[in-house]
Homo-oligomer: A and B are copies of this chain.
């Protein structure tokens, strides 16, 4: 099998490095050589470090996707264009595709898989979700016996690094972000990471393969970590919780939840102890119960680990009849389900609410009445000591499971109370068990 790489950046370079270093081991496993014969790069000068007699370096990606001698195209350019056009052209030319491009798969996966289906080729994308963790394979093949009930994961290393630092140092978001940027854990423009977009891309992909639904990134709810304060992190800790940015997708009787937001998790849960830039994903199946998958969610060689595993898989399945291959979306294309994605208003979960109030009599009575009127039952309520020299006190409320739209309505009413000094801080709370 001849392989052509599109892009030799972090992931592309890592892929070439791993394929070269472990060539003997990989051949022992795959039973045949995986030969990278071409690589397309933007800057031929920069790519000189990868030069080798058996590798043709070029600056025209179309010369790879149109080359009849190439069997598998590995797309590691990222972004939507020209990655999408190149992949569709490769498929049109009868080539298999391996990609690490989560934005592309989450937004255009359904179209790409349909094209691949028509041509009888494979599109593999293990590296698009959670870097080196073989989570796509686990859900799609390891757990085929199960009706998947929910998936919840820490699937963005940047935000997990920031949240870990906020907890360890008692610092606020903005200060830790600067430190993370200095250390290379966050990009100069961190929007995709800190606003939950990157996590939502990965979650959309997992949701599709868990439930057998089309990719529906446009319906994902996204809330980032930019508004979290050191106070909330500390209060959560005092109540026995950790705050993590979670991607959650869950099958309910009304539809499928698809949401990324910060969440309180009981500190005793294993996943609450996943720190730094690491990723971890919980999958709940009806037969197996909860399983967890942990590892590096990014980085050159961890991501290359998944790209190369896909290359071996595609090489092995190349000769199989297309119907016998593992379906792209885990379920046979003609059996995809049209279960709706739930609007965030219709999601049910528990909540942490933090109110900042002037310490006047009657505030608690007003707040509890508002909550009761909206069917929101209180699990715990704590009035914190006022910050030194301030007349404001923080009131922290944990609710039982209730309807998101009722919590939204309650927040509006609470914020209208004269004793309340600023918007209510609301963080969802996930038990992640049962």
Using a CB–CB cutoff of 8 Å, the interface residues on chain A facing chain B are 14, 18-19, 21-22, 25-26, 28-31, 126, 131-134, 137-138, 141-147, 212, 270, 273-274, 280, 285-296, 299, 301-302, 304-309, 312-313, 316-321, 323-327, 330-332, 335
A287 touches B335 (CB 8 A): no
B132 touches A288 (CB 8 A): yes
Report which of B145, B292, B305, B316 forms a contact with A285, defined as CB distance below 8 A. B305
Closest to A316 in B: B324
Distance of A291 from chain B, by nearest CB (Å): 3
Knowing A25-B147, A293-B292 are in contact, say whether A305-B332 is a contact too (CB < 8 A): no
List 22 A-B pairs, Cβ < 8 Å: A18-B146, A18-B287, A22-B147, A25-B147, A28-B335, A29-B212, A132-B285, A133-B288, A133-B291, A134-B137, A134-B142, A141-B141, A141-B309, A143-B309, A144-B308, A145-B312, A288-B296, A288-B305, A291-B293, A293-B293, A293-B294, A320-B324
B323 touches A302 (CB 8 A): no
In the bound complex, how far is the Cα of B21 from the Cα of A26, in angstroms? 39
B22 touches A146 (CB 8 A): yes
Distance of A141 from chain B, by nearest CB (Å): 6
20 more CB-based (< 8 A) A-B contacts, given A137-B137, A316-B324: A22-B147, A22-B287, A26-B144, A28-B331, A28-B332, A29-B144, A30-B144, A132-B291, A134-B138, A144-B313, A286-B301, A287-B302, A287-B308, A288-B296, A288-B302, A289-B296, A289-B299, A290-B296, A291-B295, A317-B324
Distance of A1 from chain B, by nearest CB (Å): 11
Distance of A207 from chain B, by nearest CB (Å): 15
In the bound complex, how far is the Cα of B289 from the Cα of A324, in angstroms? 32
A324 touches B313 (CB 8 A): no
Closest to A17 in B: B287
In the bound complex, how far is the Cα of B142 from the Cα of A97, in angstroms? 17
A295 touches B288 (CB 8 A): yes
Knowing A289-B302, A293-B291, A309-B145 are in contact, say whether A326-B332 is a contact too (CB < 8 A): no
| Chain B residues with CB under 8 A of A307 | 145
In the bound complex, how far is the Cα of B325 from the Cα of A312, in angstroms? 11
Closest to A148 in B: B25
A137 touches B141 (CB 8 A): yes
| Chain B residues with CB under 8 A of A323 | 31
Distance of A183 from chain B, by nearest CB (Å): 18
Highest count of chain B CB atoms <10 Å: which of A142, A145, A301, A313: A145
In the bound complex, how far is the Cα of B330 from the Cα of A330, in angstroms? 23
In the bound complex, how far is the Cα of B284 from the Cα of A57, in angstroms? 33
Query: Majority SS of interface residues in chain A?
Result: mixed
Distance of A120 from chain B, by nearest CB (Å): 14
B145 touches A308 (CB 8 A): yes
In the bound complex, how far is the Cα of B31 from the Cα of A138, in angstroms? 18
B28 touches A305 (CB 8 A): no
| Chain B residues with CB under 8 A of A19 | 145
In the bound complex, how far is the Cα of B288 from the Cα of A304, in angstroms? 8
Distance of A105 from chain B, by nearest CB (Å): 18
In the bound complex, how far is the Cα of B272 from the Cα of A273, in angstroms? 11
In the bound complex, how far is the Cα of B31 from the Cα of A286, in angstroms? 20
Report which of B26, B132, B292, B320 forms a contact with A295, defined as CB distance below 8 A. B292
B270 touches A287 (CB 8 A): no
Knowing A22-B286, A324-B320, A325-B316 are in contact, say whether A143-B147 is a contact too (CB < 8 A): no
| Chain B residues with CB under 8 A of A29 | 144, 212, 327, 330-332
| Chain B residues with CB under 8 A of A132 | 285, 287-289, 291
| Chain B residues with CB under 8 A of A137 | 134, 137-138, 141-142
In the bound complex, how far is the Cα of B281 from the Cα of A294, in angstroms? 10
